Amino acid sequence: MSEPNFPLVIVETDAAGADALLGRLSMAGAECVEERDATTLYKGGARGVTLVASFSDEAVAREALASLGDGVEARIEFVVGDAWRDGWKEHWKPTRITERVVVVPSWTEYEPQPGDLLMRFDPGRAFGTGQHASTTLAAQKVERETLSGRHTLLLDLGCGSGILAFVAVLHGLPRAIACDIDRESVESAAENAAMLGFAERIDLRVGGFEVVPETSTLVVANIEAVVLVPGAAEVAARVAPGGVLILSGILATQRAMLTDAYVAQGLTPGDVSGEGDWISMEFHRP
């Protein structure tokens, strides 16, 4: 019996073009898209960013490649067998994502320092190991807001592995609601919530913004700008009066675009933090 053969579409680009290309690959049928740059475990190529889009079907992968056009530096590659899907595990090490929180892979050992809060889990193939700047920037803001004692509920829109909801609950937040359009991500997040003892405090849902009709004084969305901008009205509607919205997954060059989109929804800009090409933004509801 032959081993499975998985097609990958590899795209080389710069930071400015990565967001749009990621969106195009997703719309073309990619099951997931890994973004590699200077801040990630596997580094980007010579142009700065490498996108690795996985497909279950070769015909769909070739159609996606063709749809990118001649002006995009892209190629198709194949991997044989399933082992590649978990290959990142051998490289993922304990990572300090905030001043207090250290993310520890479930299969490794770590000796905590005084004051450390350990988050031991396995993200599966969901986005959110704490290795990427967009996750750490958002996690630091979630930690600060949770420790302020002003909030009782976090809404995590586009939760990936669930890591941001875990940060909030780890710091004592009573409850979190998290959603993602990717069922595998939500299933992985549920397994880790159970492992961490958070299953009763985190409500995980499969779907887009519509599956979280609730509002809260603390909302986070670590998603690409291609989703955050057209979804501004839906995201902003989840922020209760007096609340704060944390956005991440944003390039520094997209700051003005995000500001315009969310100010138009009645929110006031707040703190902006950055690492490399990436920023995390805050908005406040009066």
- What is the structure's pLDDT at 126? 43
Give CA–CA dist 81/85, Å, rounded: 9
Give CA–CA dist 227/184, Å, rounded: 19
Q: What share of the chain has pLDDT > 70, as a percent?
A: 90
Instruction: Give me the count of residues in the chain.
Output: 286
In this predicted structure, the answer to whether residue 30 has a pLDDT above a threshold of 90 is no
Q: Which residue bears the tokens 């009763």? A: 200
CATH code assigned to 5-88 = 3.30.70.120
Give CA–CA dist 199/276, Å, rounded: 34
- What is the structure's pLDDT at 151? 98
Structure tokens given for 268: 């006031």
In this predicted structure, the answer to whether residue 232 has a pLDDT above a threshold of 90 is yes
Reported pTM: 0.75
In this predicted structure, the answer to whether residue 113 has a pLDDT above a threshold of 90 is no
Give CA–CA dist 13/19, Å, rounded: 10
Q: CA angle at residue 225 from 219 to 229, to 5 degrees?
A: 75
Picking from 38-52, 81-95, 189-203, which range would have the lowest pLDDT averaged per residue? 81-95
Confidence of residue 208 (pLDDT cuts 50, 70, 90): very high
Confidence of residue 91 (pLDDT cuts 50, 70, 90): low
The mean per-residue pLDDT over the stretch 56-83 comes to 86
The mean per-residue pLDDT over the stretch 121-126 comes to 57
The mean per-residue pLDDT over the stretch 128-140 comes to 79
The mean per-residue pLDDT over the stretch 185-202 comes to 91
The mean per-residue pLDDT over the stretch 198-225 comes to 96
- What is the structure's pLDDT at 125? 47
Picking from 16-25, 193-202, 211-220, 274-283, which range would have the lowest pLDDT averaged per residue? 16-25
Contacts of 209 (CB under 8 A, 6+ apart): 157, 179, 231, 234, 235, 238
Domain boundaries, the chain: 5-88, 92-284
Mean of per-residue pLDDT scores for the chain: 87
- Between 280 and 108, the more confident residue is 280
- Between 189 and 155, the more confident residue is 155
Confidence of residue 39 (pLDDT cuts 50, 70, 90): confident
- DSSP lists the bridge partners of residue 11 as 51, 74
- What is the structure's pLDDT at 240? 98
In this predicted structure, the answer to whether residue 179 has a pLDDT above a threshold of 50 is yes
Structure tokens given for 122: 């396995």
In this predicted structure, the answer to whether residue 283 has a pLDDT above a threshold of 50 is yes
Three-state secondary structure along the chain? CCCCEEEEEEEEECHHHHHHHHHHHHHCCCCEEEEECCCCCCCCCCCCEEEEEECCCHHHHHHHHHHCCCCCEEEEEEEECCHHHHHHHHCCCCEECCCCEEEEECCCCCCCCCCCEEEEECCCCCCCCCCCHHHHHHHHHHHHHHHCCCCCEEEEECCCCCHHHHHHHHCCCCEEEEEECCHHHHHHHHHHHHHHCCCCCEEEEECCHHHCCCCEEEEEEECCHHHHCCCHHHHHCCEEEEEEEEEEEEEHHHHHHHHHHHHCCCCEEEEEEEECCEEEEEEECC
Q: What share of the chain has pLDDT > 90, as a percent?
A: 54
Q: Please state the CATH superfamily assignment of the domain spanning residues 92-284 in this structure.
A: Vaccinia Virus protein VP39 (3.40.50.150)
Confidence of residue 3 (pLDDT cuts 50, 70, 90): low
Give CA–CA dist 17/12, Å, rounded: 10
